Amino acid sequence: MKLSLRSEYALRALLVLGLNYGDEVMRIQAISEQQNIPRKFLEQILNDLKSLGAVESRRGVAGGYRLARPPQHITLASIVRYLEGALAPVSCVSESFYERCSCPNEARCAIRSVMKEVRGEVVKIMEHVTLADMCQRSRQLEGATTPVDDYSI
């Protein structure tokens, strides 16, 4: 599975909103600058996320976006499925977006069998990882120090 740029930006914007959950709204310009996402594209993405019910907006001078529900109630799977469709690498193994494949015998197709396992692992991870989990991981990674090579002569 490969995420589109739209989904990657959506996850990055949600991460910013998750890290600032409980605060007032965040201005779209701040999210755009912090994550280096083109503003117009971010506006479209946030509107999609608003349609999903993941974010809400407030208009006006003090307007912006915030999460519509707690970050622990937003899974990666729900976001990616909404924006991309299937989590499966091939459509013949998708449970929600199944399409018959072109192989001669689907039941005995080795490729399909492996892709079904891949799909299962991807779904297992993405269904259990929430935005809160990603925020926690982000905080841990921010706190991790990068080893600096020390050269003495």
CATH number for the domain that contains residue 99: 1.10.10.10
Residue 107 in any domain: the answer is: yes
DSSP-derived secondary structure letter, 38: -
- 150 part of a folded domain: no
pLDDT, tens digit, 9 for 90 and up, residues 83-100: 988 887 777 777 777 778
Domain presence at residue 121? yes
Judge whether 106 lies within some domain: yes
The answer to whether residue 43 is domain-embedded is yes
Which residues constitute the domain of residue 113? 5-136
Alpha helix locations (H) across 89-148?
Answer: 110-128, 131-143
On the question of pLDDT at 33 being above 80, the answer is yes
For residue 144, is it within any domain?
no
The tally of domains found in the chain comes to 1
Residue 143 lies in a domain: no
Q: Is residue 151 part of a domain?
A: no
In whole angstroms, give the CA distance from residue 39 to residue 115. Answer: 36
The residue among 18, 91, 83 whose CA lies nearest residue 49 is 83
Please give the model's pTM, rounded to 2 decimal places. 0.84
Q: What is the pLDDT of residue 8?
A: 95
